[in-house]
Structure 1
């Protein structure tokens, strides 16, 4: 049975009324809301996705627990009723119970940061992805397994019944690096800075403008109100990194940019940067604080172990690899399949001095593949979108070019809990493509072998922005020609390609979107964004069902219910063939010197290697054996298994439990 036959039963569900009909009525769309929320969510994905490794075997899964009266503190004469406030005390932890403090760790980033600020112009950069979470903290954080909220700076929190007011109780023990307590005024000052246009960060300005000015109910209690119930607003406010009011409280945004461009604002986190450890243009080192207020907190168990973490700026990837092999870097991420398969058989790896690990987890993967412009011919016709999808031989690309290292994407949310398991699986099928082309009126070919209809050949222009893509695009071009479709490949620069997509001025493009730990479907799937520039709805999805589900999504505070909503959205989006899906890596590939300890899961459920400086620890016993093996060329160290699938096993257990319910 071919792919066309398998999908034929779904055709009636796909051929609905023209979604581009002007008669359709959509809800009022706030001009910037979904664009800004999606971009802010992407930042959270990077920061939180790299933050938290997880523990399942050594600790209990966390469930929501209301605090008992004994767990509350009476401060300034005010008692917090246990029926109103929520907390968690037995949540999952990220680090290893065997971790010890001490030692150092070094890694590299491609570019030295343009600023050391974590707020404002240029603050999102490769260094901030690693360093921000080591120096600064938020009111709450996410459980590393369940993604439920757990304490950080705040011990307790509550959401009003109408979901329009959030309150947080700050831990009175939380202290800044200068020894002063973290208070409600610090939260207010941080919010004021984020909405100040002077920081030159429009997206932060817009996102945090959805909140009214926070209110200090007392020294350690802060509340904030919103105009509509939306779980993402609680997420963004509770996970924003807090800065001390003593340093930023009286500054305008523009003055803050100048004063703290390359000067560190003290944080409440476990690390600090000393002035002498800033080697401008070359490296930045972070030093572990010996007075960190959260040292004994549950969320810090097994975490933040290295005395010193050095992050070097090295733009040349090959040079960084040479430094790694010499021992001047402790870890090296392997991004190319060819290197992983063909280049890692030298002596240090064979003897176990350098370990290679492929860690399967749920790091957010976005959509990658061909995006069709569904607004205009020829791809306003779903049969033609399906036909081209059946000519996209991604399995061949994976086998012949990528060493069978990747898995096929079949979802808008590949590899995540939000992926609908019932989505169709598209395979190379020129016979089904031929049937679909004939059904669309392409029954004849000209003397050059190209299909013709109404005197015109079936011709598609496809700009691309990376010469390396020609390895598989040329194969695709030949398969299209064999089916009678003329594919014109046009090499352009990335900026020009992005402009074409953003202006919706294309037939078909190759894209690779970033994934999100907490998906936000509006900017890429909601009808209002289809013709709105600066959204990622390049395909032009306009389906009322998706819009209705998006309406429910924001106001759904329960994650299990949101999973069901996104799976329904995923089914419609995937079966509408706005994309011919490509491939993805459901793992993180790393090399590292065999002198470190780490938890069983190595990295977090949704993180990549950037979390390692916080999660791993220096293992003296391993380091001594490593030193001996350097001197004794006949000595071998235990290398362990290359593939680590801890998180896949956790996910499988959760799916079984979900199916039982």
Structure 2
């Protein structure tokens, strides 16, 4: 009898012995194997592997991956430092694990089951007694509470704001812990707690938790760090004693014996290293590179495989972000005016081989986008208390980002921009745009941290110069770039807020008024809007899919109406290039391929 079947029978027995069961739907709480943000989990309680994983995948071999930039820490969950995501991904574990084939559903990992009432006013996790850290210590409820308190106090703004809603934490026994969520009105909060990384309380110093460190942490996950070369390399090896090797949620995952990350200072050296065979897997994001850069012997000989994969994820918002904390960009008319100077058609044709699609929503490419759709009755009700929050053309779904004539020098677009700037108190004098009354020139800095960003920023700067605006482009290294972003020390920056099929608490960190003043948040634009705050609350309170979609679309309309960014573009598909020795499962999940399901062809 397989271990997964034994675990399945034990799980069913636990339901009976606990006095709970899925048959007793009327009870306030019952044992569950998973939680979906809306509706029920797609997988039954007795599933034996994720549908996009191959449980027969062979184990072994090494995969080398690569990242651009550097690092000075191994903990990406705190504000300080620049850290790769390898520790929470491979070394630490969470109570539950997200399925990437559903909008937002989590299934048991360290917690083999949970109790939660329908109103989600509390959640109790039943930990698997077999869970162990790599040093042999059992993972208990005390470790869960310790991790919660550390992230609530010292974590990134997202965790601090989310965990601040928890009323109380109670350890019921070494393998059960209860979180009181009374009054939060946040239906996503149980899922956020469920995906929290768990640190070992016995091996983590709370006095130095919020400091940068390159000491390899102890975790309960499938890998352990075996080599750390600051700014150069990180190596992880698969644990032979990993306690969760045959859990349904992990079967077919983590197939490589060794995972090595190499770091490269710039995009050019990163790509040259791939062509030379120094790493195995690459997600290409540069259309020019994809169109012309892969005409190389390694591709022609078959050593490197290229593949285009369709993804169904919302594409998020990629844009030039205005820092509205700066007086120069406090006026919405100024921000809207600058959107007229970005000629997408020219940029797409001349810089990106016409392979991009214009962003017209914060949730482009999905049913969550408001573009092209008039607001429904639910949206009107949500927006009624904020009559000036959404422009009529955006409310009706008629608005699109300004489109130039593709010449790169559209005079009509320039005239519209100058008209708005004139209303805001700016006048063109001797080819310089100046503030009426003070004579101050309209000048600002565009921050970039890659040659690709620099190239696009220089193009936009040139377009702005046609109406007398002086936009200086400054390319800085990774450390300075992230430090300045965390402190909001910039005028304009190019940024991508990735899309998700289930927007939730991360929206507070991106657009919430509190996050606007909190260093390290992703509210780079400095948005402080009562309407936006209320709409974020509404999407978190939504119980039905219909209410959720309406609240997200209403939020989208409010953000578009604020003109906080110059909308840029997105890639419709996922471009992959990888070693011919790699194999992947036939099924691609909703959120795109994941290297953790791949394996290496064995000799």
TM surpasses 0.5: yes
Query: Do the aligned partners of 2:123 and 2:179 also contact (CA within 8 Å) in 1?
Result: yes
Match for residue 287 of structure 2 among 337, 349, 356: 337
Structure 2 equivalent of residue 407 of structure 1: 357
Structure 1 equivalent of residue 472 of structure 2: 490
TM-score, normalised with respect to structure 2: 0.73
Distance 1:516 1:210, change over 3 A: farther
Size of the aligned set, in residue pairs, is 535
Structure 1 equivalent of residue 591 of structure 2: 606
Query: Do the aligned partners of 2:485 and 2:520 also contact (CA within 8 Å) in 1?
Result: no
Distance 1:68 1:574, change over 3 A: farther
Deviation at 1:104, TM superposition (A): 2.1
Matches within 5 A, 1:580-599: 580-599=566-585
Distance 1:349 1:121, change over 3 A: same
Match for residue 95 of structure 1 among 53, 57, 64: 53
Structure 1 equivalent of residue 171 of structure 2: 216
Deviation at 1:352, TM superposition (A): 1.6
Deviation at 1:533, TM superposition (A): 7.3
Matches within 5 A, 1:528-543: 541=527
Match for residue 189 of structure 2 among 206, 224, 233: 233
Deviation at 1:223, TM superposition (A): 0.5
Deviation at 1:240, TM superposition (A): 0.9
Query: Do the aligned partners of 2:446 and 2:473 also contact (CA within 8 Å) in 1?
Result: yes
**1:254 lines up with 2:230 in the alignment:** no
Match for residue 367 of structure 1 among 305, 311, 318: 318
Deviation at 1:135, TM superposition (A): 2.6
Structure 2 equivalent of residue 56 of structure 1: none
Matches within 5 A, 1:37-56: none
1-side partners of 2:270 and 2:199: how far apart?
Answer: 34
Deviation at 1:409, TM superposition (A): 0.9
Secondary structure of the residue aligned to 1:215 is strand
CA RMSD of aligned residues (A): 4.4
Structure 1 equivalent of residue 494 of structure 2: 511
Query: Do the aligned partners of 2:255 and 2:599 also contact (CA within 8 Å) in 1?
Result: yes
2-side partners of 1:257 and 1:244: how far apart?
Answer: 15
Structure 2 equivalent of residue 567 of structure 1: 553
Point out where structure 1 has 5 or more consecutive residues left out of the alignment: 1-66, 625-661
Deviation at 1:359, TM superposition (A): 3.3
Secondary structure of the residue aligned to 1:550 is helix
Secondary structure of the residue aligned to 2:404 is coil
Secondary structure of the residue aligned to 2:94 is coil
**1:80 lines up with 2:37 in the alignment:** no
Q: Deviations over 1:326-361 (max 9, x none)?
A: 444222444433332222112221122211234343
Q: Deviations over 1:146-168 (max 9, x none)?
A: 22222212232233455332111
2-side partners of 1:111 and 1:481: how far apart?
Answer: 31
2-side partners of 1:481 and 1:223: how far apart?
Answer: 59
Structure 2 equivalent of residue 298 of structure 1: 248
Structure number with greater Rg is 1
Secondary structure of the residue aligned to 1:94 is coil
**1:312 lines up with 2:253 in the alignment:** no
Query: Do the aligned partners of 1:95 and 1:302 also contact (CA within 8 Å) in 2?
Result: yes
Secondary structure of the residue aligned to 1:269 is coil
Query: Do the aligned partners of 2:123 and 2:178 also contact (CA within 8 Å) in 1?
Result: yes
Q: Deviations over 1:534-570 (max 9, x none)?
A: 6655656565543432332333355653332111110
2-side partners of 1:216 and 1:349: how far apart?
Answer: 56
Query: Do the aligned partners of 2:80 and 2:212 also contact (CA within 8 Å) in 1?
Result: no
Distance 1:541 1:253, change over 3 A: closer
Q: Deviations over 1:239-258 (max 9, x none)?
A: 1122344x33xx64126689
**1:425 lines up with 2:400 in the alignment:** yes
Deviation at 1:309, TM superposition (A): 2.1
Deviation at 1:169, TM superposition (A): 1.7
1-side partners of 2:288 and 2:332: how far apart?
Answer: 38
**1:269 lines up with 2:221 in the alignment:** yes
2-side partners of 1:273 and 1:374: how far apart?
Answer: 41
Secondary structure of the residue aligned to 2:197 is coil
- Deviation larger for 213-222 or 310-319: 310-319
Query: Do the aligned partners of 1:175 and 1:268 also contact (CA within 8 Å) in 2?
Result: yes
2-side partners of 1:448 and 1:539: how far apart?
Answer: 31
Query: Do the aligned partners of 2:465 and 2:471 also contact (CA within 8 Å) in 1?
Result: no
**1:130 lines up with 2:86 in the alignment:** yes
Structure 2 equivalent of residue 51 of structure 1: none
Structure 1 equivalent of residue 12 of structure 2: 71
1-side partners of 2:136 and 2:120: how far apart?
Answer: 35
Query: Do the aligned partners of 1:99 and 1:597 also contact (CA within 8 Å) in 2?
Result: no
1-side partners of 2:569 and 2:418: how far apart?
Answer: 25
